[in-house]
Amino acid sequence: MTFEPVRLGEIRPRGWLRRQLELQAAGLTGRAEEIWPDLGPDSGWLGGPGENWERGPYYLDGLVPLAHVLGDEALLGKAKAWIEWILASQRPDGQFGPQANDDWWPRMVALKVLVQHAEATGDERVPPFLARYFAYELEHLPGRPLTEWGAVRATENVLAALWLHRRDGDARWLRLGELLMEQNADWTRYLTEDLITGRATVFDHLTHGPNVAMGLKVPAVRALLDAAANTDAGAAGNGTGVGRMTELRSCLGELDRWHGQVHGMFSGDEWLAGREAYQGIETCQVVEYLYTLEQSALAFGEGELGDLGELVAFNQLAAACDPTMKAHQYHQQATQIAATVDERLWTHSSDDANIFGLEPHYGCCMANLHQGWPKFAASLWMQAADGLAVFAYAPSTLTTRVAGTDVTIEEETEYPFDETVRLTLTLGTPARFALRLRIPGWCTAPELRVNAESIAAVAGTDGYVVLDRTWSSGDVVELCLPMAIRRVRRERGALGVRLGPLVMVVPVAESWRPLPEARGLGEWEVVPLSSWNFGLHARARGGLENWPVERTPVPDVPFTAEGPPVTIRGRGARVPEWRAQHGSAPHPPDSPVVTGSPAVDCPLVPYGSARLRVAELPTVISVEADGREVT
């Protein structure tokens, strides 16, 4: 089953998610234009003489959804100035944007912006604008084909063409989609047959982390193109969607095999970098991978994509900025024992790539990070042919139309920090439709009640429980997703730990050290104030899976080292021979490590709450002088 997006602005974040988005609005996104000249009044995307490539469109690709999910008039006003300039920039031949730069790639991002703007506002100028530009592309792409970045990211353009085709039925836009895909890299073959199996050592578009994150969209876009062509031809579905989802699983499986890290994402600092926890992940890669998962969920309707999306959002995305979203990292490390200027073993980056600042290393992440949280919030719910489906769980309110009536669903939850989700429905008139509730693959014993009546929470092969019934105002759905502690096996016997969708890590006490002559809203190194080289007593207290879990209210700053909302009370011991190298923790020693270090309490907290952390740990056995094991 395929899904459709709900209209931008129909989902309003609440609770901790709204606070996170408000931090973004008060921080890097809301103040970007005043603190970064590349997004100031001289931008080429405002008609000025300044930067005229991707940074303006990248910024808008996050600013527009942030403004609409928050309903923030100030942000809407900022976005309006850029959008009006873009719409006014179109020339008679259909081309648009800065005249000094005719690259296809940044216009692909601008198309995403215009589609979101039109979805949220109903701006009738956008469809004819797109039609004129797509006609321009059909005329000029054969003689001036995609190159460089555009030739590996063409799916972004195809999605916009498909959006217009769904509205006007013009077959030309499907031909454009096919032409763009012909000129795009064959990502499926590369990721399944030719994928590099170690660290990249030279630049190649196919090993560039953000490119890979976008390239993973190819199976979904291919499936959507095929489905649209079949519909136009009056043909029945031929099952290509199932085959394309299989392709995506194969791509993800190969990436995990050769480059997968303990938290589930693949490395890329800035190129594919193997499986070790000291290799980095670029913030651009994080937000683009999350967007790919959201779009793939629309194309395939598979719950496992929501599982992956939650992993990315609640862990890597949360950790990519400082807790108040005033600064960001270019690269984050799964095991990160310092965020300082140092010569780390990146595949390609400068020494400052993992400090928190305005523009560590390249400025692309400062331009592009803005889309992560807003698009995640806007994707929590999706429309199914028979009703509504959950992509991810978070506190929110959905107001939309289903089965011919107005429907509001209040989602009360502290998920992912807690296990329960409560949905309260309000309808204009009673109506029958399906609610598709995603049961995460990690949850083995879900509990479901409708109006206090227990319902069997048995998910189908797509990962969804389907509640198909006539709904009335006041109906309440309660879902409990018990979170058992789980091990993630790593090389050399090391372990990672997960609790529901959260990656749990051993935190390292942090000292935030301001850098001199800081730009933007501040720039910091983060240095450790405690030891980091611990291993886990995985057999202590009846085994790791039985360690106590403690929960406290989510603080006003959701992802902070002060007062993390969930803690696992683990046991561990120092591993003295595990020492820092190049500013990072090298790979853990072979497990189990037999040590004379005493067993101590070793709490684990959410990955996104700890900017300094150890995510991949050896197991240890502490022994007394006489050889007796101590737990």
Q: Answer whether residue 360 shows pLDDT above 90.
A: yes
Q: Let me know whether 10 and 76 are in one domain.
A: no
At 629, the pLDDT band (50, 70, 90 cuts) reads confident
Q: Token digits for 83?
A: 């959008």
Res. 541 pLDDT band, cuts 50 70 90? confident
Interhelix angle 283-300/240-259, rounded to 10 degrees, is 150
Each residue's pLDDT tens digit, 299-350: 999 999 999 999 999 999 999 999 999 999 999 999 999 999 999 999 999 9
Tell whether 261 is covered by a domain.
no
Nearest Cα to Cα of residue 241 among 228, 259, 232: 228
**For residue 390, what are the domain limits?**
1-30+380-413+420-482
Residue bearing the bigger pLDDT, 233 or 210: 210
Higher pLDDT, 625 or 183: 183
Number of domains in the chain: 2
Task: Please give the helix or strand (H or E) that residue 202 lies within, else none.
Answer: none
Q: Give dist(CA 305, CA 295) in Å, integer.
A: 10
Please enumerate in sequence order all residues whose Cβ is within 8 A of that of 259, keeping only pairs 6 or more positions apart, or say none: 266, 267, 268, 272, 273, 274, 275
Tell me which residue of 506, 608, 594 sits closest to 547, measured CA to CA.
506
pLDDT at 574 over 70: yes
* Same domain membership, residue 178 and residue 47: yes
Instruction: Give the residue-averaged pLDDT of 557-586.
Output: 96
pLDDT bucket at 241, cuts 50 / 70 / 90: confident
Indicate the pairing of strand 600-606 with strand 566-574.
antiparallel
Same domain, residue pair 6 and 142 = no
HEC profile of 389-445: EECCCCCEEEEEEECCEEEEEEEEECCCCCCEEEEEEEECCCEEEEEEEECCCCCCC
Last residue of a domain, one of 161, 184, 207: 184
| Residues 124-148 pLDDT 10s | 999 999 999 999 999 999 999 999 9
Q: Is a pLDDT exceeding 70 seen at residue 625?
A: no
| Mean pLDDT along residues 481-506 | 97
Cα 214 from chain centre: 12
Pair (94, 18) in one structural domain: no
Mean pLDDT value of segment 93-119 = 98
pLDDT-wise least confident of 164-168, 304-308, 427-431, 542-546: 542-546
For 170-216, write each residue's pLDDT tens digit.
999 999 999 999 999 999 999 999 999 999 999 999 999 999 999 99
Residue 552 has pLDDT above 90, yes or no: yes
Strands 4-5 and 11-13: unpaired
* Mean pLDDT of the region 156-162: 98
Contact, 609 vs 630, CB < 8 A? no
Whether residue 15 is found in the same domain as residue 130? no
Helix (H, G, I), strand (E, B) or coil at 527: strand
| Residue at a domain's end among 159, 184, 209 | 184
pTM here is: 0.97
Question: Is the domain of 4 the same as that of 105?
Answer: no
Enclosing H/E stretch for 15: helix 15-26
Select from 414, 427, 440, 402 the least CA-distant residue to 558: 414
Mean pLDDT over 207-229 rounds to 97
Query: Measured between alpha carbons, how far is 33 from 520 in angstroms, rounded to an integer?
Result: 10
Q: What's the CA gap between 45 and 34, in Å, rounded?
A: 16
pLDDT at position 101 over 90:
yes
pLDDT more than 70, % of the chain? 99
Q: What percent of the chain is predicted at pLDDT more than 90?
A: 95
Asked if 18 and 75 sit in the same domain, the reply is no
Cα(57)–Cα(104) distance, rounded to whole angstroms?
Answer: 12
Q: What is the mean pLDDT of the chain?
A: 96
46 and 115 share one domain: yes
**CA dist list (Å): 215 to 105, 150, 151, 187, 272:** 14, 11, 10, 6, 13
Range of weakest confidence among 77-86, 165-174, 349-358, 619-628: 619-628
pLDDT at 540: 82
Same-domain pairing of 9 and 50:
no
Res 234: pLDDT: 79
Q: CA–CA separation, 226 vs 212, rounded Å?
A: 22
pLDDT band (50, 70, 90) for residue 53: very high
Q: What is the mean pLDDT of residues 419-436?
A: 98
Look up residue 503 and give its DSSP letter.
Answer: E
Spatial distance between the Cα atoms of 155 and 142, rounded to a whole number of angstroms:
17
By residue count, the chain amounts to 631
Sheet of 476-480: strand order equals 11-13, 396-402, 405-413, 420-427, 476-480, 447-450, 453-455
Identify whether 343 is part of a domain.
no
Residues 104 and 58 in one domain: yes
Question: Is 542 a member of any domain?
Answer: no
Which has the higher per-residue pLDDT, 602 or 541?
A: 602
Residues 42 and 179 in one domain: yes
Span 604-624, average pLDDT:
95
Distance (Å, whole) CA 342 – CA 331: 13
- Look at residue 66 and give its three-state secondary structure: helix
Domain finish residue from 150, 184, 218: 184
Q: Are strands 566-574 and 549-551 parallel, antiparallel or unpaired?
A: antiparallel
50 and 169 in a single domain? The answer is yes
Alpha carbons 60 and 45: distance in angstroms, whole number: 10
61 SS3 class: helix
Identity of the amino acid at 340: T
Q: Is residue 363 part of a domain?
A: no
Relative to beta strand 495-499, strand 502-507 is antiparallel
pLDDT of residue 356: 98
Is residue 477 in a domain? yes
Confidence of residue 21 (pLDDT cuts 50, 70, 90): very high
Q: Which pLDDT does position 539 carry in this prediction?
A: 87
pLDDT on residue 631: 66
Report the pLDDT value the prediction gives residue 232, as an integer from 0 to 100.
Answer: 85
Can you point out the beta strands (E) in 6-163? 11-13
* Domain-located, residue 74: yes
The reported pLDDT for the residue numbered 197 is: 97
Mean pLDDT across 71-97: 98
Alpha-carbon distances, residue 151 vs 99, 180, 206, 490 (angstroms): 21, 8, 11, 35
110 lies in some domain? yes
For residue 46, tell me if it sits in a domain.
Answer: yes
Q: Which pLDDT band, with edges at 50, 70 and 90, does 236 fall under? A: low
Q: Could you read off the pLDDT of 112-126 as tens digits, one per residue? A: 999 999 999 999 999
Element (H, E) at 307: helix 303-311
| pLDDT value of position 237 | 53
* DSSP summary character for residue 121: H
Q: Is the pLDDT of residue 240 over 60?
A: yes
Contact 483, 446 (CB under 8 A): no
The CA radius of gyration of the chain, in Å to the nearest whole number, is 24
